[in-house]
Structure 1
């Protein structure tokens, strides 16, 4: 699973790179907001993007000698870099048993067809997900759907995710240098 996950993150870097720890210049990186630097670690390897050559040089110097797990630590980076703002860190957890579903055949364009009443549709919250939908089918008919919406994952939520089969493989952090 890790090579597939790593290839997804390196594609988001916006320039050719690998999980090896080098800092690459990528003003269009999707690892972070525009103008920011992004760090993603997966199992003690990292991909790091910076918006400018000057930011890349600052990051290279700051990360030199720092253990990879600390590359997404706001405290460790603030001690080494002039940082204006952080987003994260976010825990990256994956479940190999789940695959995004093709929902093109959900006829109404909404999830209301999956529930018994309009009240149930509102309660289910499927129109609020920001992830792909994951579905269970009986033949061609969708009989259950799930997804997620991005939000902070405190430890109780992380325990639930682990109980459902998610494995924490890494972290992500975005930082805006001063």
Structure 2
């Protein structure tokens, strides 16, 4: 396991759709372990392979340490509730800034585990927000694209200023 460098906004790789995983082997397990270690070091509660420059559809979430980390390979949203919620979001690729984003309150996803077995999961609240946020990233949609143009421009300026002063 190793901590990998995180791709920072506005790197163009964050706007590219990730490819499906087809090989469920030791290299996938190594990638998942690196993602987990990198996410914890960031720190964050979710990370995708594109966040470390690997264009594959892999997500690792760890919302609470006591519950442990969960891995989602090739996740897809199969259903979303009509009810919406607002939640404050950010990204390991754009540390230090966040904003309120509107998301579905509940979602159902299908995905594969690291052995390639098909799974389904229904989630609500924070986990549902995370599923939508990370699947957006796998589709090449960085979270700030869900903001109004004005909010997005303000957030980018704030991030650029913070980056210059760091």
Q: TM-score, normalised by structure 2?
A: 0.19
Select the structure of larger CA radius of gyration. Answer: 1
Greater share of residues in helix: 2
Q: TM-score, normalised by structure 1?
A: 0.18
